[in-house]
Amino acid sequence: MRNQSIKFTGIRNGYKILTLCIFTFFPLWAYAQSTTPAQEVLEFYQKYMINCDHMFSNGVEKKRDGLFCNMNIEKYITKELHKKIISAYKSGTYSNLTGDRNYFTHTQDFDARWASFMSVTEIKVDRNNSVIRLLMNFPKGAGEPLAVCVRLHRESSVWKICQVDPSLYTDLPDCRDN
């Protein structure tokens, strides 16, 4: 009787090995893929709106730790934007930067229920930069719709917010002429 050992050569066994490798490494590859800029913006704004609502509805005094609604903001914004906001806050010029509103939403109020009324539109995407229009279509009685233009920059494989444009002439900018 001949000893039957597993052979790793030949076309048939090569396909088996290739198939095994694909099924083994595909989940890791799929997990490593980054989200789209639009998904990143929507995720951030929904979490931000909910966190800010909880923070301010509980009567928490606005201080530097609460400036970003106690979120891990570095996950979502560039270091440059973080420095810009902190610098403006420390120097007392935050209202000049935001027009007496929140930098990210350009509103003065927060309501966790508004998170479900947000939608995003991809305006422009290239290799490392993106412009996303975030529409906050508030529920009846909560105000007129409002949109902001969110600019993102890719750092490695992660999209991060680098600027949020205020609505200068209209509450519903199209984000196309910037």
Q: What's the CA gap between 57 and 47, in Å, rounded?
A: 15
Structural domain total, the chain: 1
What pLDDT is attached to residue 28? 46
Domain range enclosing 90: 35-165
* CATH number of the domain bearing residue 139: 3.10.450.50
Asked if the model's pLDDT at residue 145 lies above 90, the reply is no
| Residue 175 lies inside a defined structural domain of this protein | no
| Residue 2 lies inside a defined structural domain of this protein | no
Residue owning tokens 């001949």: 2
β-pair partners for 120: 134
Secondary structure class of 81 (helix, strand, coil): helix
| Residue 88 lies inside a defined structural domain of this protein | yes
What is the bridge-based pairing of β-strands 146-155 and 118-125? unpaired
**What are the structure tokens assigned to 62, written together?**
């606005």
Tell me the pLDDT tens digit for each residue of 47-90: 998 888 888 776 555 554 567 888 889 999 999 999 999 998 88
Q: Return phi, psi of residue 163, to 5°.
A: -170, 145
| Residue 106 lies inside a defined structural domain of this protein | yes
| Residue 30 lies inside a defined structural domain of this protein | no
| Residue 4 lies inside a defined structural domain of this protein | no
